[in-house]
């Protein structure tokens, strides 16, 4: 018959003290004072009974929290909020939390967040835009430790998993819609078109290519914000104000324009307000369109023509790829880790609402 296990209650009864006292004395709780006599009684009783203090289960230092890190360049544009919504909804279903690193398109801030990754030790990382070219090598190195998914411009192929965004195609679709309506003299208004913002340039290039192919390339006016603006801290209304101020300049310099395409919906909202201030009717005098199909474009008093490329789904897919990678890394197959590269792309679609129509009559 097995011997009954000695408990702290047995020690307490033998020493004539409470169970709490036994626990504190034997666990060396020195912040609580006991008389020398009490300590000796407890220790003697424990020794005589053969009581052993249970070892606490040590927490594994390297245990990862169920956390996914999301690098985001801007939280003021609804486009990124929609991406985050897709990521968060998918993560929540799997019991993961998300940690947002808002880089604000600042290289120093992005580098600081990248350096933080080993100590944060997430389950995976999602970039909601292309990483800066300065940090591509570091990102590639991090993929050895964490699964990384980039929601990127398709024309910038990276050796990581990606949910592709074909900005060239988006620009072409915008141009095709205006050409089909008969607009020849048009403008394209954009945030800064710098080297580190290639995805913006690709959208503009796609727009120009379609107009050049139709024989109207010389009629397209491109208005973009200064390069200096790209280096400044983005505000909540930065993209809106760019659309607003550049349109005011455009109306003074090129009154012949019959349609304006905004690089995204936020820019298009600024365009619309500048036209309203100039007492110009949309689309009677000038047609306007954006891109991304954000929430505000659907409002009854806005009804912005735009391009849908399924932003929320892209966020969900990026998160889903992370989950698949985690599952793969935890499974063993012939003692080797399978290497898989995911590339997902949605076909964009024009959403025609009330801001585009045929050119005004001369």
* Same domain for 291 and 188: yes
Parallel, antiparallel, or unpaired: how do β-strands 306-308 and 349-351 relate?
A: antiparallel
* Same domain for 276 and 174: yes
**Residue span of the structural domain in which 288 resides:** 167-309
Q: Where are the beta strands (DSSP E) in 278-358?
A: 287-289, 306-308, 343-345, 349-351
* Same domain for 172 and 157: no
* Same domain for 235 and 107: no
Q: Exposed, middle or buried: residue 329 (CB in 10 Å: 0-12, 13-18, 19+)?
A: middle
DSSP string of 102-167?
E-TT-HHHHHHHHHHHHHH--SEEEESSPPPGGGHHHHHHHTTTS-EEEEEETTS--SSEEEEE-H
Among 84-93, 167-176, 205-214, 221-230, the minimum mean pLDDT is found in 221-230
* Same domain for 289 and 172: yes
The reply to whether 59 falls in a domain is no
Give the gyration radius of the chain's Cα atoms.
31
* Same domain for 203 and 289: yes
* Same domain for 85 and 193: no
Neighbours of 337 (CB within 10 A): 12
**Percent of the chain surpassing pLDDT 90:** 46
pLDDT of residue 184: 96
pLDDT in tens, 140-174: 888 888 889 988 755 555 667 888 888 899 999 99
The reply to whether 21 falls in a domain is yes
The mean pLDDT value for 276-304 works out to: 95
* Same domain for 203 and 152: no
The more confidently predicted of residues 283 and 332 is 283
The reply to whether 121 falls in a domain is yes
pLDDT of residue 85: 92
CA–CA separation, 252 and 256 (whole Å):
10
The reply to whether 236 falls in a domain is yes
pLDDT in tens, 45-78: 888 888 887 765 544 444 556 899 999 988 888 8
CATH number at residue 127: 3.40.50.2300
pLDDT of residue 35: 77
The reply to whether 60 falls in a domain is no
CA–CA separation, 74 and 99 (whole Å):
15
* Same domain for 173 and 304: yes
* Same domain for 196 and 115: no
The reply to whether 354 falls in a domain is no
* Same domain for 318 and 281: no
The reply to whether 226 falls in a domain is yes
**Quick one: tokens of 27?**
């666990």
| Number of domains within the chain | 3
* Same domain for 77 and 118: yes
């Amino acid at each position: 018959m097995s011997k009954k296990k000695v408990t702290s209650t047995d020690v307490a009864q033998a020493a004539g003290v409470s169970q709490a006292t036994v626990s504190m004395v034997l666990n060396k709780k020195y912040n609580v004072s006991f008389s020398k006599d009490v300590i000796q009684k407890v220790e003697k009783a424990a020794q005589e009974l053969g009581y052993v203090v249970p070892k606490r289960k040590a927490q594994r230092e390297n245990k990862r929290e169920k956390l996914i890190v999301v690098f985001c360049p801007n939280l003021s544009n609804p486009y990124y909020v929609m991406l985050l919504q897709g990521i968060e909804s998918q993560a929540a279903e799997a019991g993961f939390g998300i940690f947002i690193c808002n880089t604000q398109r600042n290289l120093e801030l992005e580098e600081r967040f990248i350096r933080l990754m080993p100590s944060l030790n997430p389950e995976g990382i999602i970039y909601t835009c292309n990483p800066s070219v300065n940090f591509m090598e570091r990102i590639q190195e991090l993929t050895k430790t964490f699964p990384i998914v980039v929601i990127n411009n398709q024309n910038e192929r990276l050796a990581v998993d990606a949910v592709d965004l074909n900005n060239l195609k988006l620009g072409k679709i915008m141009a095709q819609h205006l050409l089909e309506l008969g607009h020849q003299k048009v403008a394209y208004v954009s945030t800064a078109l710098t080297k580190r913002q290639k995805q913006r340039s690709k959208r503009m290039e796609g727009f120009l290519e379609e107009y050049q192919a139709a024989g109207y390339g010389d009629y397209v006016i491109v208005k973009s914000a200064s390069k200096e603006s790209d280096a400044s801290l983005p505000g909540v209304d930065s993209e809106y104000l760019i659309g607003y101020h550049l349109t005011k300049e455009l109306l003074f310099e090129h009154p012949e324009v019959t349609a304006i395409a905004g690089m995204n919906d936020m820019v298009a909202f600024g365009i619309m307000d500048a036209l309203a201030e100039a007492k110009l009717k949309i689309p009677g005098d000038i047609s306007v369109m954006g891109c991304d199909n954000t929430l505000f474009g659907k409002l009854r008093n806005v009804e912005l023509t735009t391009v849908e490329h399924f932003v929320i789904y892209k966020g969900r897919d990026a998160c889903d790829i992370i989950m698949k990678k985690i599952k793969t890394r935890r499974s063993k197959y012939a003692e080797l880790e399978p290497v898989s590269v995911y590339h997902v792309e949605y076909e964009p679609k024009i959403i025609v609402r009330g801001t585009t129509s045929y050119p005004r009559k001369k």
